[in-house]
Amino acid sequence: MKDDNGLMRVMYLLLLTLAVCIGLYFIPAKFLGIKLKRVDLISDLRNKVSALDSINSNLIAGDTLKVDSVALRDSLIRSQGIDSASLALRDSLYKELMANQSADSNFVRIEDFSAGHTGLRRFFEALKNRETLNRPVYVAYLGDSFIEGDILVSDFRHYMQDKFGGCGVGFVPITSISSQFRPTVSQTGSGWKAWSMLRDRGHAYTLSGMLFDATSPVATVTTRGGNRYPELRRAPLMKFIYERNTATELRMTLNGSKDTLTEVLPPTTEVTQIEKRGNYSSAFFKLINTTGFRALGVAMDADKGVVVDNYSLRGNSGIILQRLNTKDCQALNRIRPYDLIILQYGLNVTSDSLMHYGWYAEKMMKAINQVRVCFPKADVLLLGVSDRSRMNEGTFETMPAVVALLRAQRNLAQTMGLPFWNVFGAMGGTNSMVRYVNLNWASKDYTHLGFRGGKEIATSLFRALMEEKNFYDEADKMGN
């Protein structure tokens, strides 16, 4: 009987506690001018549901930024000579195209927010006229550790070169933290001090965000094409790209030959290159009398077709692009005239403590404007952030901040009149990174890709570009 009474007392106490908590939940926000705080027993669950709901609401929410479409249209007419009737025709065709998107739910189109949907016009024109360009079509793919080691970019390069011709890995920095695991090129160097745009404000930088000063009387670089794809093994052009020199002597051994080519490099204070034409699989560069010598990297290039340069910089949010040096970038553009610049950033910005990224969009607007100043003849394609997961109550799920940032990036593209491609959507949307990890397509940090995951996204990006190219081809036919 005593045990029953004790049990009843515990039950009464629990009921009383529950009644008090419920009562405290319904207390007013203020009492006699004093602010009171509610007691919410399910706040954690409520917050989790709200966070997950925010993902879907962000994805389907309407656009909020106002775009001066008239100004964009007038600017396009002045800069590219497209008449208003042609723009109206392209608008009509584009709306029809978007209304009849593929039934494939995994396919994500490029959204072109430019007036008349001409944001990739120069790039596609270069592809169309590549046989008469007297140079390859140049693509620069900029990003952070998401594309480090040529993940994603290697497959994208392969698809482009397979369809449009070309070979070679393109630009490679003198040294890199990813050189040990990058399968598309083998490279080593000695006698160099590396400068990074992320930590240094005392030097002028171009797209790679890296500079290399020779620190010994003799500095070396060895490079060899990788075997990941057949078009990487050899290239007709071997280049050494540098930007400061007084009286350095360059000795080159190509394809493992016993013969050495020697040249005294002319003095320079701007980005330039020495180029050798042939059929190259490897090169050994030895530099002597290196006082004041500063280099950027080497390149194995095609003389036609497509060249795709990977400019990855671990930890880069993209904001630092507003510090690109105009003079040096324009000098780089003379030797590597880019037709398309792809920007993929965001992983280094997302945080559980932030759900508003307007500040980031404002800074990226300045960065993109600087890219346009530095490379005025290049089209710019902005990519949205990829999926990223965080642990929540024992399971991994998409960070709500990812979609908040994605929305800010999309609105930025709309404001600036840029083409935009949604990487998050192409991966499969919410919790797609979990699927990638389960398939061994991504690393177990639930943030970075493996090569198999990179191939999946590269395939989707290439398809999206080709679908967009089909639209351009069709619009040109209708306009003639």
Q: Assess if residue 14 is contained within a domain.
A: no
- How much is the pLDDT for 22? 66
- How much is the pLDDT for 115? 81
Q: Is the pLDDT of residue 274 over 50?
A: yes
φ, ψ for residue 112 (rounded to 5)?
A: -100, 105
Q: Assess if residue 160 is contained within a domain.
A: yes
Integer CA distances (angstroms), 385 to 24, 40, 308, 420, 439, in order? 42, 34, 21, 11, 20
- How much is the pLDDT for 304? 96
Q: What percent of the chain is modeled with pLDDT above 70?
A: 80
Q: Is the pLDDT of residue 382 over 70?
A: yes
pLDDT grade for 392, boundaries at 50, 70 and 90 = confident
Q: Assess if residue 64 is contained within a domain.
A: yes
Q: Which residue has the higher pLDDT, 149 or 55?
A: 149
Integer CA distances (angstroms), 275 to 19, 62, 334, in order? 82, 51, 14
- How much is the pLDDT for 377? 96
Q: Is the pLDDT of residue 30 over 70?
A: no
pLDDT grade for 394, boundaries at 50, 70 and 90 = confident
Q: Is the pLDDT of residue 366 over 90?
A: yes
Tell me which of 87-91, 177-181, 186-190, 445-449 is least confident: 87-91
- Report the DSSP beta bridge partners of residue 221: 189, 285
- How much is the pLDDT for 311? 97
Q: Is the pLDDT of residue 46 over 50?
A: no
- How much is the pLDDT for 75? 53
Residue 102 DSSP one-character state? -
Q: What is the mean pLDDT of the chain?
A: 86
- How much is the pLDDT for 150? 95
- How much is the pLDDT for 65? 39
pLDDT grade for 177, boundaries at 50, 70 and 90 = confident
Q: How many domains does the chain have?
A: 1
- How much is the pLDDT for 35? 52
Give the residue-averaged pLDDT of 414-421. Answer: 96
Q: Assess if residue 183 is contained within a domain.
A: yes
Show the beta-strand stretches assigned E in 174-301.
185-190, 192-196, 210-214, 218-225, 235-244, 249-254, 261-264, 272-280, 282-288, 294-301
- How much is the pLDDT for 9? 74
Give the residue-averaged pLDDT of 62-70. Answer: 43
Length of the chain counted residue by residue: 480
Residue numbers of the domain that contains 436:
44-479
Q: Say which residues have a Cβ less than 8 Å from residue 317's Cβ, sequence separation at least 6.
A: 144, 345, 346, 348, 349, 360
Q: Assess if residue 121 is contained within a domain.
A: yes
Q: Assess if residue 84 is contained within a domain.
A: yes
Q: Is the pLDDT of residue 308 over 70?
A: yes
Q: Assess if residue 403 is contained within a domain.
A: yes
Q: Is the pLDDT of residue 462 over 80?
A: yes
Q: Which residue has the higher pLDDT, 58 or 373?
A: 373
φ, ψ for residue 268 (rounded to 5)?
A: -155, 155
Tell me which of 20-24, 197-201, 314-318 is least confident: 20-24
Query: How far is 407 from 466, CA to CA, in rounded Å?
Result: 25
Q: Assess if residue 38 is contained within a domain.
A: no
- How much is the pLDDT for 67? 41
Tokens of 139: 């693509």
Check which CATH number belongs to the domain holding 405 and give it: 3.40.50.1110
pTM for the structure as a whole: 0.84
